[in-house]
Amino acid sequence: MMQEWPHDSLIFTPHDVDLARSPLAGRIDAETYVLGAFNPGMTRLPNGNLLLMVRIAEALRQPVHGQQIHAIRWEDGDYKLDAWPLSLVDTSDPRKFMMRGGGWKVMALTSLSWLLPVELDAEGRQVVEVHYDKAIAPRASYQCYGVEDARITQIDGRYYMTTCSVSPERHSTTLYTSDDALDWTLEGIVLDHQNKDMLIFEGKVAGKFWAQTRPLGDLYFAYPPESEWRAGPSINLATSPDALHWKPYDKPGIRPHAKTMATARMGGGAPPVLAEVDGRQGWLSLWHGVEPSGVVGIYRTYWTLLDRDDPSRALATSHAPLLDPAPGLLKPLENLLYVHDVVFTTGIADGGDHWIVASGEADLACRITHVPKVAITGR
């Protein structure tokens, strides 16, 4: 049975987006719609309100016509439509299309993503303002297919936002910085190809920035048969003197357990924050585990408490999910659903006796959940 929380609701959906104010408005000769408004980075603004940095996946209303499928691409300040023959692609996943043949997995997207700042009240219960004038759209060739999945951290009064930038050049992590979380400076690429879900810890360890990363690949080496770990994607660690130049940490981070398929794939969720769990202080990390099922899998949110001085040490972890997908919340949006069974946590803020947790629900909408601090326990 799914856990009931004091507050658990959708706060921002595709219906709340005004595409007349989109960065793409009037700049491509095709009708678009909001495929999803989801996976929001979250932080607390200087005025005490919360800010969501919402990923807007803006898709072509009719991507297929004339025996071709089309994709949106940014180029030198303009947006272009690329056409691919249907005979060359696989369209089984509605979020993308895969090129047939060749020696590598090559894909293109049916949408282009940009980031929309949405200001909420201090508890995340109401939208206060949507800052279309502060939207973040592609600005460089390594972002030509979009900017995705922001994660925001505040350290010493400065905001750091990691995003996934998508292009044929590379699938990289990029960094933005800000003094107010509304006006952002693009600092450039900080992690190279297919190293994403980068979460900067909300505080330094021994004077250094720390981050969780999740590099992907097509080949992993097996653990011994009796090992408690399963080979595959894991949540790794990196350190930096300045948040720009990162060195992978020698010790492993959070790894998938061999005894369950619920975390056969995994990746970072919300930036780790200092917390106390069962009387022990450390870095609370919310992360996602993926159980194989259908095309996408079942995404759930789990937690781990990491040692305050050595975040490669796990002090406690949850084998049961903290958050499950919430299909009941999506009933008003059933006609918009294109994937199911996905909760993808991307932000956390302190609400006093509870954590305010921001997630993407079904790659469609933004979900805010109030999780009592006492509910996070290893007992």
- What are the pLDDT digits (tens) for 286-307? 999 999 998 889 999 999 999 9
pLDDT of residue 2: 66
Model confidence at 49, in pLDDT bands (50, 70, 90)?
very high
Is-contact 286 269, C-beta < 8 A? yes
- 1-5, 69-73, 212-216, 343-347 — which is least confidently predicted? 1-5
What stretches of 86-144 adopt beta strand conformation (E)?
A: 89-90, 96-99, 107-109, 111-120, 127-130
Alpha-carbon distance 73 to 112, whole Å? 7
Alpha-carbon distance 171 to 191, whole Å? 9
Model confidence at 312, in pLDDT bands (50, 70, 90)?
very high
Higher pLDDT, 378 or 252: 252
Q: Percent of the chain, pLDDT > 70?
A: 99
Alpha-carbon distance 177 to 195, whole Å? 19
pLDDT of residue 1: 54
Tell me the three state secondary structure of residue 326: coil
DSSP state of 296: T
Is-contact 303 318, C-beta < 8 A? yes
pLDDT of residue 161: 98
CA 227 vs CA 222, 250, 253, 356: distances in Å: 10, 20, 16, 36
Name the burial class of residue 229, with classes exposed (0-12), middle (13-18) and buried (19+) by CB atoms within 10 angstroms of its CB. middle
- Torsion of Cα atoms, 117 then 119 then 124 then 127, to 10°: -110
Residue 94 pLDDT > 70:
no
Residue 324 pLDDT > 80:
yes
Structure tokens at 86: 């249907």
Alpha-carbon distance 124 to 114, whole Å? 22
Write down the pTM of the prediction: 0.96
- Torsion of Cα atoms, 160 then 166 then 171 then 174, to 10°: -20
Residues 6+ positions from 314 with CB-CB distance below 8 Å: 254, 304, 305, 306, 307
Residues 6+ positions from 259 with CB-CB distance below 8 Å: 228
Model confidence at 196, in pLDDT bands (50, 70, 90)?
confident
pLDDT of residue 379: 66
- 155-164, 213-222, 304-313, 342-351 — which is least confidently predicted? 213-222
Q: Percent of the chain, pLDDT > 90?
A: 85
Higher pLDDT, 172 or 91: 172
Alpha-carbon distance 9 to 333, whole Å? 13
Is-contact 182 117, C-beta < 8 A? yes
pLDDT of residue 96: 83
Q: What would the pLDDT profile of 266-286 be if each residue is shown by its tens digit?
A: 999 999 999 999 999 999 999
Alpha-carbon distance 45 to 295, whole Å? 38
Is-contact 39 344, C-beta < 8 A? yes
Alpha-carbon distance 39 to 344, whole Å? 7
Query: Taking all residues of the chain, what is their mean pLDDT, rounded to a whole number?
Result: 95
Name the burial class of residue 175, with classes exposed (0-12), middle (13-18) and buried (19+) by CB atoms within 10 angstroms of its CB. buried
Pair type for strands 107-109 and 146-155: unpaired
- 12-21, 192-201, 274-283, 359-368 — which is least confidently predicted? 192-201
Model confidence at 313, in pLDDT bands (50, 70, 90)?
very high
In this prediction, residues 314-328 reach a mean pLDDT of 95
Pair type for strands 127-130 and 111-120: antiparallel
pLDDT of residue 92: 79
Residues 6+ positions from 133 with CB-CB distance below 8 Å: none
Neighbours of 310 (CB within 10 A): 13
Residue 123 pLDDT > 90:
yes
Model confidence at 70, in pLDDT bands (50, 70, 90)?
very high
Alpha-carbon distance 12 to 368, whole Å? 9
